[in-house]
Structure 1
Amino acid sequence: MSSPVTLPEPWSRSAVSVVVPTYNEAANLPVLVERVLALGLPNLRLVIVDDNSPDGTGEVADKLAAEYAADGAAPGGGGAGQSPITVLHRTAKDGLGRAYVAGMTRALRDGADFVAQMDADLSHPPGYLPQMLGTALSTNAGVVIGSRYVAGGSLSEHWGLRRRLLSGWANAYVKAILAMPIRDVTAGYKLWRRSALEALDLAGIHSSGYSFQVEMHFRAYRRGQKMVEIPIHFEDRQEGSSKMDLAVQLESALRPFQLRRTEGARRTR
């Protein structure tokens, strides 16, 4: 993507919060914050949720929040003395899903009309956010998904054949079980309308790892939310390492079956 689209008013002034969970992302976070807050969305805020990162990511987040608060001309949702960055410190590494629920809950409490979710490792280019917001507003979508697998979507050239096959297999596996009409069922780059998140019952989300993405998609689908995919280019992380351990992989494999059962029971009540 060459440059972000420019949205007209009043669309550009929508209250948008971007939730970013972090664990050992001290090197990536300053770059991400700078890119997000330079998007030309004056009422955009960042909610950083740190899981007590041993590399000092939480301290880096606090420092960035203070720096942007001190800069009265800072882009984003902060004015003089007010930072566009909120930092939530959690006491333990409790999983991606739980971090997102905490950040989304805070964003809704603070008045966001739209809530985006984005990885901290720079794999999700922030420049797509204005397009996602414009798509949500023009289509009345409950969720706009940054998709790697619709026409025009692409993966980093640094992804080898094994990673591509595993990602494609995971999507096919989940779709075979849950029969959702979207191409990128494991996508983590999304923008939600406030009413859609409220319909999903965030407090009742069960997934703690990457299966959170699938559970959110499935809840939205089964609750009748309009879901729109736009193509994105998925970058490879530049710093740090993946958080996909064996426990997360096991949860991701089992969760689709649990979702089919629990959501099916919900519909029969």
Structure 2
Amino acid sequence: MGRTASQYPWVIVPTYNEASNILDIVEAIRKAVPAATVLVVDDSSPDGTADLVESLSKGDQFVRVLRRPGKAGLGAAYRAGFREALSAGATALVEIDADFSHDPAVMPRLLDGLDDGAGLAIGSRYISGGSSEGLSALRLLISRLGNRYASIMLGIDVRDATAGFRAYEADALKMIDLDQVRADGYGFQVEMAYLVSQLGFRIIEVPITFHDRRAGSSKMSSDIVIEAMMLCTIWGISRRVPWLRQGSRQDRLIDHLEKLIRRSS
């Protein structure tokens, strides 16, 4: 019998100033999936998040911390975590937020989806049985419209492509050149789902209840939303206009628009 995706999972937890949550979320992850290695990727949090995890790791070989020199964004944190996990032989890689907006108890269901042959299992708010609690009507509307737009532009049958609670089968991630992944924030999640779909892997969605963060402050900004919409638009146009995919035209256009976004922010 060959190995399964759930045999040696790694759970990647990106953090910046999550000292109020980090020990509890690591404990909850370890309880939900005892076989998992928990890798906290910390962007030099001034509140000592990484120090707390390092102290915990001294008594638990399944807890690790990756310290990064500065705050470089969600996408960069996940890419760094993916590389470390894959190099250590991970069979599945799970993304989860540190703020308890995602329930760690759902992780076994995501891993079961990978064991059943999916390349990506997404914890979805927008399929039957899923919901978002504590979010304002405006924030919920923006999220739903953004996901619908991404689905149409990219031709992917995913209701919650921006979801940050998901599990990848390791072989699917190995086929993606992480150095070429452009986006951050919501856009990173959409881009990764798009790339997995383009490679021909099956994507499934598992219903979850999304909770507003229990403690700390949100890292979401208008720039992240604008970036995601801009990237979806360019990728969607490129699907229909082969000329834009030739050479480095698409990348140059993205570079130009990102500079404009940074100047206006």
Q: TM-score range by the shorter chain?
A: 0.7 to 0.9
Determine helix, strand or coil for the equivalent of 1:37: helix
Q: CA deviation at 1:153?
A: 0.6
Quick one: which amino acid aligns to residue 160 of structure 1? S
Quick one: structure 1 residues 182 and 67, their matched pair in 2 at CA, closer, same or farther if it must change by over 3 Å? same
* Alpha carbons 1:13, 1:41 under 8 Å: kept: no
Q: Distance in 2 between matches of 1:196 and 1:152?
A: 27
Give CA-to-partner distance per residue, 1:18-47, whole Å, 9 cap, x none: 0110011111111100101112533x1011
Matches within 5 A, 1:146-165: 146-156=123-133, 158-165=134-141
Q: Distance in 2 between matches of 1:148 and 1:181?
A: 14
Determine helix, strand or coil for the equivalent of 2:31: coil
Counterpart pick for 1:37 among 22, 30, 51:
30
Give CA-to-partner distance per residue, 1:180-203, whole Å, 9 cap, x none: 111111111111101110122222
Give CA-to-partner distance per residue, 1:205-259, whole Å, 9 cap, x none: 1113321000001111111111011101111101111111233222122111233
State the match for 2:258 in structure 1: none
Matches within 5 A, 1:86-165: 86-138=64-116, 140-156=117-133, 158-165=134-141
* Alpha carbons 1:222, 1:263 under 8 Å: kept: no
State the match for 2:40 in structure 1: 48
Counterpart pick for 1:245 among 221, 233, 238:
221
Counterpart pick for 2:55 among 63, 66, 74:
63
Determine helix, strand or coil for the equivalent of 2:18: coil
Q: Where does structure 2 lack aligned partners over 5 or more consecutive residues? A: 248-265
Q: Distance in 1 between matches of 2:228 and 2:122?
A: 19
Determine helix, strand or coil for the equivalent of 1:210: helix
Q: Distance in 2 between matches of 1:232 and 1:118?
A: 13
State the match for 1:226 in structure 2: 202
TM-score by length of 1: 0.84
Q: Distance in 2 between matches of 1:243 and 1:206?
A: 19
State the match for 2:17 in structure 1: 24
Q: CA deviation at 1:11?
A: 6.1
Quick one: which amino acid aligns to residue 231 of structure 1? P
Identical positions, percent:
37
* Alpha carbons 1:215, 1:259 under 8 Å: kept: no
TM-score by length of 2: 0.85
Q: Distance in 2 between matches of 1:244 and 1:155?
A: 16
* Alpha carbons 1:94, 1:208 under 8 Å: kept: no
Aligned pair count?
243
Counterpart pick for 2:147 among 156, 171, 180:
171
Q: CA deviation at 1:163?
A: 1.8
Quick one: structure 1 residues 142 and 267, their matched pair in 2 at CA, closer, same or farther if it must change by over 3 Å? farther
Give CA-to-partner distance per residue, 1:136-176, whole Å, 9 cap, x none: 112x01011111011111111x2221222121121122223
Once superposed, what is the RMSD of the aligned Cα atoms? 2.1
Determine helix, strand or coil for the equivalent of 2:235: helix
State the match for 1:197 in structure 2: 173
Q: Distance in 2 between matches of 1:219 and 1:13?
A: 22
